[in-house]
Amino acid sequence: MTRSVLALLDVRPAHTAMIAERYDVHRFDQIEDKSAFLDETGSKITAVVTSARVGMPVDLMDRLPNLEVITSFGVGYDLIDLEACRKRGVRVSTTPDILTDDVADTAIMLMHATMRQLIVGDDWARSGKWVKNGPMTLTRSIRDKKLGIVGLGRIGQAIASRAIPSGVEVGYFGRSPKAVDYTFFESLSALADWADILMLSCPGGDATKGIIDTQVLSALGSSGVLINIARGSVVDEAALIAALKGKVIAGAGLDVFDNEPNVDRTLAGFDNVVLYPHAASGTVETRDAMGQLVVDNLNAWDERGALITPII
Ligand code: NAP
C-alpha cells in the first residue's frame, strides 16, 4: 500500500515532486479545513516532512496516531518535541553536515560585515556621502581579535577553522570541553568578558533560551560585537536592543531573530547592525542537497525502517 505522507511545507519543488511520485502526499500548508482533513485522514499518515523552521506542533502530532517518522529539512530541532516523539516511538531525521560550510561562511561574512561596517560603507559609496563628506569613518580590524564561540559543534568548528587564518584567537563555551586546541571557558560570562567577537552557534530550545542577556552583553563590552547564526531565541532581544541603544556593545550581525520574519524595526534602525533574513544555508547547492537528504531519509525509512541521519 502506498505510504501516506503529510508535508507541512514545500521543501524544494523538485524534491516535493520526487516525494509525490512515490507516496500519497498531502500538502498540509495548502489544506483549508485542517481539522476536517485530520479527522478523515490523520490515522493514515505514517510520515511527516517538515523543516527546522516549521517544526512539528505537538497538537498536530496528537492527531496522527500512526505516525512513524518525521524527516526534517534543516539541522535545528528546537521546534520538534523529542520527548513526545521518544514516548511514542516516532523517529526523527534532520539534514546535518551538508549545510555546515554555507552556515559557517555566513557567520564569517556577518563578522566581517559588522566589524568593517559593510552596509555603512556601501551606502557611503552609493549615496554620494563619499563625495560630500570625504572618506568614511575608520572601522575595526579582525586581526588579533578574540573570537568567543558559544557551541563548538559542527558549525562552530567550521567557523573557528575559517577565522583562524584571519588572525583571530579562538575560545569557546559549551556543555563540555572538546578535543581541540582552543581555550574552553566554563562560563558564558567569562567567555563574553574575554571575547571581542561573541559568535553564537549553539542549538535553540529551552536550554539556551535568552542566555545572551544583559549581563553577558555587559561582559562583552563597548568594543564587543555579537554575531548570531544560531537561533533568535538564544538572545534576549530586548536586552540586545537596549545594549545597542546604550552603546553597551559595539554592534551585531544577525541571521536569526525572535519573531521571524517580523524583524523588530528598532534593530533595522541601527547602522552598526547587519541583518540577514535567516538565510545562512540559503544557497541553491545546499538547499538542493538538503532536499535530497529529506527524500533519501524518507525512502530509507520506507524501504528498510532505518534513517540515514537520525537524531532519535
Ligand atoms: P551541533 O554539531 O550539534 O553543535 C551544537 C553545539 O552546541 C555543540 O557543540 C553542543 O555542545 C553545543 N551546545 C548544546 N547545548 C548547549 C548549551 N545549552 N549551551 C551551550 N552550548 C550548547 O550542531 P550544528 O550542526 O553545529 O548546528 C548548531 C545550531 O546552528 C543548530 O542547532 C541550529 O540552531 C543552528 N543553525 C542555524 C542555521 C541558520 O540558517 N542560521 C542553519 C543551521 C543550523 P556539546 O557537544 O557539548 O553538546
How do residues 262-280 score in pLDDT, each as one tens digit? Answer: 999 999 999 999 999 999 9
Closest C-alpha residue for ligand 1 atom 4: 153
Question: From ligand 1's centre to the CA of 221, what distance in Å?
Answer: 24
- Domain spanning 4-96+285-304, CATH architecture: 3-Layer(aba) Sandwich (3.40)
For residue 131, the model assigns a pLDDT of: 98
Cα atoms found within 13 Å of the Cα of residue 8, Cβ hemisphere only: 19
- In sequence order, what are the beta bridge partners of 153? none
Cα atoms found within 13 Å of the Cα of residue 25, Cβ hemisphere only: 21
Question: From ligand 1's centre to the CA of 66, what distance in Å?
Answer: 31
Pocket test for ligand 1, best of 51, 73, 75 (most atoms within 8 A of CB): 75
What mean pLDDT is predicted for residues 66-81?
Answer: 97
Question: pLDDT grade, residue 141 (50/70/90)?
Answer: very high
Residue-wise pLDDT for 159-214, tens only, equals 999 999 999 999 999 999 999 999 999 999 999 999 999 999 999 999 999 999 99
Q: What is the mean pLDDT of the chain?
A: 98
Closest C-alpha residue for ligand 1 atom 10: 151
Which residue's entry shows cell 577553522?
161
Q: What is the DSSP letter of 54?
A: T
- 3-class DSSP state of 297: helix
For residue 285, the model assigns a pLDDT of: 98
Which sequence spans correspond to the domains of the chain? 4-96+285-304, 100-275
Distance CA 227, CA 149 (A): 10
Question: From ligand 1's centre to the CA of 103, what distance in Å?
Answer: 12
- Residue 250: φ, ψ to 5°: -85, -25
- Is the pLDDT at 109 greater than 90? The verdict is yes
Distance CA 30, CA 227 (A): 36
Task: Enumerate the H helices of the chain as residue ranges.
Answer: 13-22, 34-41, 58-61, 82-88, 100-115, 118-127, 129-133, 154-163, 188-194, 214-220, 237-245, 265-268, 284-304
CATH 3.40.50.720 fits domain 100-275: yes
- 3-class DSSP state of 89: coil
- Atom index in ligand 1 nearest the CA of residue 74 equals 43
Pocket test for ligand 1, best of 149, 155, 170 (most atoms within 8 A of CB): 155
Other CB atoms within 10 Å distance of the CB of residue 169: 16
- Is the pLDDT at 127 greater than 90? The verdict is yes
Whether residue 208 has its Cβ less than 6 Å from ligand 1: yes
Pocket test for ligand 1, best of 152, 199, 202 (most atoms within 8 A of CB): 202
Q: Are strands 69-73 and 45-51 parallel, antiparallel or unpaired?
A: parallel
Distance CA 152, CA 159 (A): 9
Distance CA 38, CA 32 (A): 11
Question: From ligand 1's centre to the CA of 147, what distance in Å?
Answer: 17
Question: From ligand 1's centre to the CA of 127, what distance in Å?
Answer: 39
Whether residue 218 has its Cβ less than 6 Å from ligand 1: no
Residue-wise pLDDT for 28-53, tens only, equals 999 999 999 999 999 999 999 999 99
- 3-class DSSP state of 83: helix
Whether residue 109 has its Cβ less than 6 Å from ligand 1: no
Closest C-alpha residue for ligand 1 atom 36: 230
- Atom index in ligand 1 nearest the CA of residue 281 equals 40
Which residue's entry shows cell 498531502?
26
Q: Are 4-96+285-304 and 100-275 in the same CATH fold?
A: yes
Which residue's entry shows cell 505522507?
5
- For the annotated catalytic residues, the residue numbers are 231, 260, 278
Question: pLDDT grade, residue 297 (50/70/90)?
Answer: very high
Whether residue 231 has its Cβ less than 6 Å from ligand 1: yes
Distance CA 231, CA 211 (A): 11
Question: From ligand 1's centre to the CA of 236, what distance in Å?
Answer: 18
Question: pLDDT grade, residue 1 (50/70/90)?
Answer: confident
Residue-wise pLDDT for 88-97, tens only, equals 999 999 999 9
In the chain, the percentage of residues whose pLDDT exceeds 70 is 100
In the chain, the percentage of residues whose pLDDT exceeds 90 is 100
- Measured CA to CA in angstroms, residue 174 lies from 78, 95, 183, 185 at distances of 17, 22, 11, 8
Residues 6+ apart with CB under 8 A from 112: 118, 142
Closest C-alpha residue for ligand 1 atom 43: 75
Distance CA 254, CA 251 (A): 10
